[in-house]
Structure 1
Amino acid sequence: MDANEILDYCLAKKGVTESFPFDNETLVLKVGGKMFLLMPLERMPLQINVKTDPEWSAELREQYPQVNGAFHMNKTHWNSVMTDGLKRDLIFKLIDQSYELVFNSLTKKAKEEIINR
């Protein structure tokens, strides 16, 4: 899986925007103005940071050596995921959950604006 596949998958979701707010390397994807995925484009192997349910985070970290607490982020809720060696379905499931957690945290008005675009 490469960065373009992940980017295309994310951009197909409603209300997603992309930017480089931190530097010229770290792509940040947001929904409703809130981050749900970070991807350092120059890092190999490819890595993404995603938000996950804390209970699932603990399971993932035990089961997969590629999943760890995200550097410089709340490690209870955010994971750094090295995509090498992980199934595509799992990576998409992680992205989906991150998007849903952030989308569900938005105000009712913000959610409706995104849905009605």
Structure 2
Amino acid sequence: MDGVGVQARAAARAEELPGAELVHPFGPEFDVTKVCGKVFMLMSARNDAPIVTLKAAPADANVLREAYPEIVPGYHMNKKHWITISGGGSLEPELLDDLVTESYLLVVETLPKRLQPVNPATFGRRSEAGGRDGEGAAAPQLG
């Protein structure tokens, strides 16, 4: 995928996530996607090349950076907890979907349970049959 394709695929996946909201707090050239007011994805350009920045577990971020040259430490973000993805590499579209979902879940799991739009322990996890478990069903809301 080229950079435009990476952004289009990431945006499409984010749009499917319950409670995800696209905002432009830094101007129209920066797409920021939040859940319950917390950022989980940013899309912009670096050196005129489209990029996607996502939250990642530190151990996962290290492995991803070693495995894929198009994944680097988060651009203008905490390098331990964020990754930036550019186009032109061997990253599979399904892995990009999973990275967007994981970024979303890392944010959702920090929310109070009553605000969580999904159960982060089950939503979007791959089942043994190869599909995603828990999608489409929101976590029960308390209060």
User: TM-score if structure 1 supplies the norm length?
Assistant: 0.87
Alignment CA distance shift 1:70-1:42 (3 Å): closer
Gaps of 5+ in 1: none
1:92 matched to 2:89? The reply is: no
Residue number in structure 2 paired with 1:109: 114
RMSD: 2.3
Percent of aligned pairs sharing the same letter: 31
2:83 to 73, 79, 85: 79
Shift of 1:4: 3.4
1:28 matched to 2:32? The reply is: yes
1:12 matched to 2:22? The reply is: no
Residue number in structure 2 paired with 1:55: 59
Shift of 1:56: 0.7
- Provide the rounded CA distance (Å) in 2 between the counterparts of 1:41 and 1:18: 17
- Provide the rounded CA distance (Å) in 2 between the counterparts of 1:108 and 1:100: 13
Alignment CA distance shift 1:100-1:65 (3 Å): same
Secondary structure at 1:89 match in 2: helix
Structure ID, larger Rg: 2
Note if contact 1:32-1:110 (Cα within 8 Å) is conserved in structure 2: yes
- Provide the rounded CA distance (Å) in 2 between the counterparts of 1:84 and 1:57: 19
> How many residues were matched structurally?
117
Which has the larger share of helix? 1
- Provide the rounded CA distance (Å) in 2 between the counterparts of 1:53 and 1:112: 20
Note if contact 1:14-1:115 (Cα within 8 Å) is conserved in structure 2: no
Alignment CA distance shift 1:15-1:112 (3 Å): closer
